[in-house]
Structure 1
């Protein structure tokens, strides 16, 4: 029933005279990367805020919590995956921020350059995230 309702709403959206931005059928790489840039910024801000609040509210010191994690004897694959998951938003937001700064200088604004720089940002993000997680 819910699927039929969603399909009907989708068809109405396509037939109505709405802004093209409200009924996008195919998402482009720059659009998805812009949304992800905002999302990683929110995630980084929330992570720093939660870490600060936990330092104030949770009893004990950082060293005692680190020892607790070490005592769990987690496997290296899980530890490296967790480190990658923590560092990926930081590296993506940093590389994409550099890309945005280049746009502010008026460079790389053609459609082909947008896609090329997007792929370069994704490759650099994965490589730097893997490198930082391996430390």
Structure 2
């Protein structure tokens, strides 16, 4: 038995390995059968709901994003979603209005209405439409670049973020003045 110590076999392992064959099988069976150490009891469904609600109240809540310093990546993500929803609402709203009253929302009526507006109102309206359109389009290209595996580092994300902001400003001015 000294060679088992040299091999680093513990006493329990030695007994299991060097026991006669009938005893080995009972030890294997004993270790294969798991004993339940936790007591269980039947509960009514409303008791389970009460326990679950108590556990939910005891969970720590995650910190709200307002405690963190604003970052370009999550501000751009939020702005991308907001501009996408805004542009969709405008598109579907105008489409439904045109379906309901095609003579009121015809191209001729819209052009006549816009021609009668003061110049500063036209510039403000064009800016309000051009800025979200430009940002959402350019940020979409940024996301397509990310989908190809480019600019995924922190430095790349910030560089492309600032590039989108700069290109948005330039393209907004170009669209407004066009």
Same fold, judged at TM 0.5 (above): yes
The alpha-carbon distance between structure 1 residues 105 and 50, as it changes in their structure 2 partners (threshold 3 A), is: same
Q: Which has the higher contact order (CA 8 A, sep 6+)?
A: 1
Matches within 5 A, 1:67-78: 67-72=112-117, 74=118, 76-78=119-121
Matches within 5 A, 1:113-128: 113-128=156-171
Q: CA deviation at 1:36?
A: 0.5
- The gaps in structure 1 that reach 5 residues or longer are 1-15
Q: CA deviation at 1:69?
A: 3.0
Task: Please state if 1:56 is matched with 2:99.
Answer: yes
Q: 2:138: which partner in 1?
A: 95
Instruction: Give the stretch that moved more between structures: 60-69 or 79-88.
Output: 60-69
CA distance in 2, matches of 1:30, 1:21: 17
> Conserved in 1, the CA contact under 8 Å of 2:146 and 2:152?
yes
- The TM-score, its normalising length taken from structure 1, stands at 0.78
- The Cα RMSD (Å) is 1.8
CA distance in 2, matches of 1:22, 1:125: 26
Instruction: Tell me which structure has the larger Cα radius of gyration.
Output: 2
Q: CA deviation at 1:22?
A: 5.1
Task: Please state if 1:83 is matched with 2:130.
Answer: no
Task: Please state if 1:27 is matched with 2:70.
Answer: yes
> Conserved in 1, the CA contact under 8 Å of 2:114 and 2:122?
no
CA distance in 1, matches of 2:72, 2:166: 14
Q: CA deviation at 1:20?
A: 4.2
